[in-house]
């Protein structure tokens, strides 16, 4: 059997980690770099580019480069590279495949099984797409693990007593907050909340808009809306953002940004940290609200939190640290391997699953409520299409829950079970997961026929719904989200896998031969595919 790895598939950066003597270590590429930028591109000669090389060509070729694909996971978005269109899970699979190659080269062994992390607040479809990405890349995905939970597995506690830790994870594309109780080697998640579309990408976009305004003020002309110019601006924005974590001011210089007849127009402007902070404050306020929501779901107050731990590249922004500290007075707030701990935790969990000598017990929750559409009494009388929760959010998984319903109309012979995930009291406002019917119910007066709806939710987020009509004992069930029955057929999966594999086989990975500049220092930028 080959090696088992943990993978943090990030919006901006991805890493792969393995266990050695029970300790996780992050596997570097040949140059010793551990972070793989989550960029995929095609060179002008049709060569596949992954990571730094794709990142480098970005500003020059935004139309041939994909970034932040994680934000599209679980949607039917597609992107064209070369002569083929790719679904988000296929682009992610290219990143995963590149990490797999790196690990196999370094470990000199086959790597076939992986634990892959996702934001805790990822929905069902997003998790499923991630699992598919892993399979397309040629992995057996042992578990889809929540990122803040993975991070919590890595913390070393010095005391034997329980410690309650708040994990605040703000990355490139997503935000999660989890409240975790750690007792010896038992790590128990009490509640998670988050936002799947909040992260460094949004801060970059705010600053990009700000720079656009500045340019207009300086030159009395608009910045053209073409992809390449916008990509340069966005990249300048990200670099300015990172500089402002260290300095109170930074200067943005983009020479020859726009040509106006014979003259070239440059962008050169100072940005103060305070200006940037004002741009992102409203977004950060949302993260504080999420902390409160997680606390209340865990039945806790800030006083119950022993310490807060900041994870993710965006927590390097001083304002983020200040706001969290201000929001949790009396709680020590610290950073902990903000780029690496999620991947390291995934490797630890991979070790646990493979039976390696790792003493670590994990109890996790599902942050979204699950239920069905039903007629319910409201202030306005009985209303159809309300959301009746069967598994409340932040239930420990795996879990099984049942609820009994009865027919709403006289002589009703068909019952439709529509399954949703979300928190809105109106069913249709939530994410639909599937539907099925029970037919041939004996006609009886309303309310007489009872149907028991049973939800079984497993550790990987696979939901099995069974409805049983109590009288005749008719039973129908639906497996939501099982790769074998849903979304991609195994045939489609195989096709994707072969296509991606041939991309790697036929076209050598360009990464290793690329120029040797440190990618952080290279002056190119990326286009957002949204």
- Residue 461 interacts, among Mg ion, other proteins, ligand ATP, none and using kind-specific CB cut-offs from 5 to 8 Å, with none
396 binding partner (options Mg ion, other proteins, ligand ATP, none; Cβ < 5 to 8 Å by kind): other proteins
Q: Which does 13 bind (CB under 5 to 8 A by kind): Mg ion, other proteins, ligand ATP, none?
A: ligand ATP
**CB nearest Mg ion: which residue?**
171
Q: Does 397 help bind other proteins (rule: CB under 8 A)?
A: yes
Stretch that binds other proteins, among 44-52, 72-80, 165-173, 407-415 (CB under 8 A): 407-415
Report the residue count for the chain: 530
Element (H, E) at 64: none
In order of 246, 277, 359, 394, 468, the CA distances from 367 in angstroms are 35, 30, 26, 5, 27
147 catalytic per annotation = yes
CA angle 311, 314, 318 (to 5 degrees): 100
CB 351 → other proteins: shortest distance, Å?
Answer: 12
Question: Which of 258, 319, 459, 501 is in the footprint of other proteins by CB under 8 A?
Answer: 459
Q: Which residues contact 17 (CB under 8 A, 6 or more apart)?
A: 5, 6, 7, 8, 24, 25, 26, 27, 340, 343, 344, 346, 347
Nearest Cα residue to 435 out of 374, 368, 483, 484: 374
- CB-nearer residue toward ligand ATP: 6 or 173: 173
Among candidate residues 8, 124, 469, 511, the one labeled active-site is: 8
**Contacting residue, 218, 264, 272, 396, with other proteins by CB under 8 A:** 396
Shorter beta-carbon distance to other proteins: residue 178 or 206? 178
371 burial type by CB count under 10 A (0-12 exposed, 13-18 middle, 19+ buried): buried
Which residue, 130 or 481, has its beta carbon nearer to Mg ion? 130
Catalytic site residue 70? yes
Our finding on whether 412 is near other proteins (CB under 8 A) is yes
CB of 304 to other proteins, least distance (A): 15
Nearer to other proteins, 296 or 402 (CB): 402
Partner that binds at residue 408, options Mg ion, ligand ATP, other proteins, none, CB closer than 5 to 8 Å by kind: other proteins
Say how far apart CA 401 and CA 26 lie, in whole Å.
39
Shortest Å distance, C-beta 433 to other proteins: 18
- 3-class state of residue 34 by DSSP: coil
Query: Which 3-state string (H, E, C) describes 162-230?
Result: CEEEEEEEECCCCEEEEEEEEECCEEEEEEEEEECCCCHHHHHHHHHHHHHHHHHHHHCCCCCCCHHHH
Per-residue x/- track, 167-206, other proteins (CB under 8 A): ----------------xx-x--------------------
Size of the site for other proteins (CB under 8 A): 35
Q: Which partner in ligand ATP, other proteins, Mg ion, none is near 458 (CB below 5 to 8 A by kind)?
A: other proteins
Pick one of other proteins, Mg ion, ligand ATP, none as the site partner of residue 200 (Cβ within 5 to 8 A by kind).
ligand ATP
**Per CB under 8 A, 363 contacts other proteins:** yes
Out of 29, 67, 70, 297, pick the active-site residue.
70
What is residue 427's DSSP assignment? G
Chosen from other proteins, ligand ATP, Mg ion, none, partner binding at 397 (C-beta under 5 to 8 Å by type): other proteins
CB closer to other proteins out of 22 and 508: 22
Q: Which contacts of 462-465 are long-range, i.e. CB under 8 A and separated by 24 or more positions?
A: 463/124, 463/370, 463/419, 463/433, 465/372, 465/417, 465/419, 465/434, 465/436
376 lies in the site for other proteins, by CB under 8 A: yes
In whole angstroms, give the CA distance from residue 92 to residue 134.
8
- CB nearer to Mg ion: give 122 or 405: 122
Residue 498 known to be catalytic: no
Report which secondary-structure segment, H or E, holds 234: helix 227-244
Q: Which residues of 117-149 are buried (b: 16+ CB within 10 A; e: fewer)?
A: bbbbbbbbbbbbbbbbbbbbbbbebbbbbbbbb
Which of 229, 403, 464, 529 is close enough to bind other proteins by CB under 8 A? 403
CB of 328 to ligand ATP, least distance (A): 21
| C-beta closer to Mg ion: residue 311 or 350 | 311
Give residues in contact with Mg ion (CB under 5 A): 10, 171
The correct pick among 60, 258, 319, 375 for binding other proteins (CB under 8 A) is 375
Please, which residue, 12 or 178, has the CB nearer to ligand ATP? 12
Among 29, 124, 169, 339, the one annotated catalytic? 169
- Sequence-ordered list of residues with C-beta below 8 angstroms from that of 365, at least 6 positions apart, any chain: 189, 190, 191, 192, 393, 394, 395, 396, 397
Annotation marks residue 8 as catalytic: yes
DSSP secondary structure string for all residues of 282-345? HHHHHHHHHHHHHHHHTT--GGG-SEEEEESGGGGSHHHHHHHHHHSTTS-EEE--TTTHHHHH
Secondary structure of 381-414 as H, E, C letters = EEEEEEEEEEECCCEEECEEEEEEEECCCCCCCC
Q: How far apart are CA 37 and CA 39, in angstroms?
A: 6
Which residues are catalytically annotated?
8, 70, 147, 169
Residues that bind other proteins (CB under 8 A): 143, 183-184, 186, 352-353, 361-364, 374-377, 382, 388, 396-400, 403-408, 412, 415-416, 446-447, 451, 458-459
């Amino acid at each position: 059997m080959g090696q088992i790895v943990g993978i943090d598939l990030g919006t901006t950066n991805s890493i792969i980690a393995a266990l050695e003597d029970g300790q996780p270590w992050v596997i570097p590429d040949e140059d010793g770099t551990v972070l793989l930028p989550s960029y995929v591109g095609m060179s002008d000669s049709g060569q596949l580019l992954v990571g730094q090389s794709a990142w480098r060509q970005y500003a020059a070729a935004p139309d041939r480069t994909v970034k932040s694909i994680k934000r599209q996971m679980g949607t039917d978005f597609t992107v064209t590279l070369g002569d083929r269109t790719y679904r988000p899970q296929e682009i992610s699979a290219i990143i995963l495949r590149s990490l797999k190659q790196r690990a196999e080269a370094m470990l000199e062994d086959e790597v076939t099984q992986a634990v892959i992390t996702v934001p805790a607040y990822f929905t069902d479809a997003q998790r499923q797409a991630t699992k598919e990405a892993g399979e397309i890349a040629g992995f057996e995905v042992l578990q889809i693990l929540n990122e803040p939970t993975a991070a919590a597995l890595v913390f070393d506690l010095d005391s034997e007593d329980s410690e309650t830790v708040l994990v605040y994870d703000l990355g490139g594309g997503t935000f999660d907050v989890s409240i975790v109780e750690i007792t010896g080697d038992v790590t128990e998640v009490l509640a998670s909340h988050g936002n799947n579309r909040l992260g460094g990408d949004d801060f970059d976009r705010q600053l990009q808009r700000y720079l656009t305004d500045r340019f207009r003020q300086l030159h009395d002309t608009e910045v053209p809306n073409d992809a390449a110019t916008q990509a340069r601006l966005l990249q300048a924005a990200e670099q300015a953002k990172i500089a402002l974590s260290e300095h109170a001011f930074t200067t943005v210089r983009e020479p020859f940004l726009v040509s106006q007849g014979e003259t070239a127009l440059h962008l050169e402007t100072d940005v103060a940290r305070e200006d940037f902070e004002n741009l992102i404050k409203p977004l950060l306020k949302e993260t504080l609200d999420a902390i409160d929501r997680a606390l209340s779901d865990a039945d806790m107050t800030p006083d119950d939190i022993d310490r807060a731990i900041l994870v993710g590249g965006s927590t390097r922004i001083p304002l983020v640290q200040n706001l969290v500290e201000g929001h949790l007075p009396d709680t020590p707030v610290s950073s902990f391997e903000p780029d690496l701990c999620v991947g390291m935790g995934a490797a630890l969990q991979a070790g646990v699953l493979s039976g390696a000598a790792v003493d670590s017990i994990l109890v996790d929750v599902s942050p979204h409520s699950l239920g069905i559409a039903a007629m319910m009494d409201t202030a306005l009388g009985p209303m159809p299409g309300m959301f009746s929760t069967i598994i409340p959010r932040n239930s420990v998984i795996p879990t099984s829950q049942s609820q009994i319903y009865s027919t709403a109309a006289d002589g009703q012979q068909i019952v439709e079970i529509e399954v949703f995930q979300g928190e809105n009291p109106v069913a249709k406002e939530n994410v639909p997961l599937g539907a099925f019917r029970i037919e041939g119910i004996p006609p009886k007066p309303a309310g007489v026929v009872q149907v028991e709806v049973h939800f079984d939710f497993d550790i990987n987020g696979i939901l099995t719904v069974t409805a049983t009509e109590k009288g005749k004992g008719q039973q129908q069930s639906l497996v939501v989200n099982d790769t074998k029955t849903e979304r991609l057929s195994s045939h489609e999966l195989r096709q994707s896998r072969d296509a991606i594999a041939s991309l790697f086989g036929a076209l050598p990975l360009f990464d290793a031969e690329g120029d040797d500049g440190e990618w952080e220092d290279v002056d190119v930028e990326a286009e957002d595919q949204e």
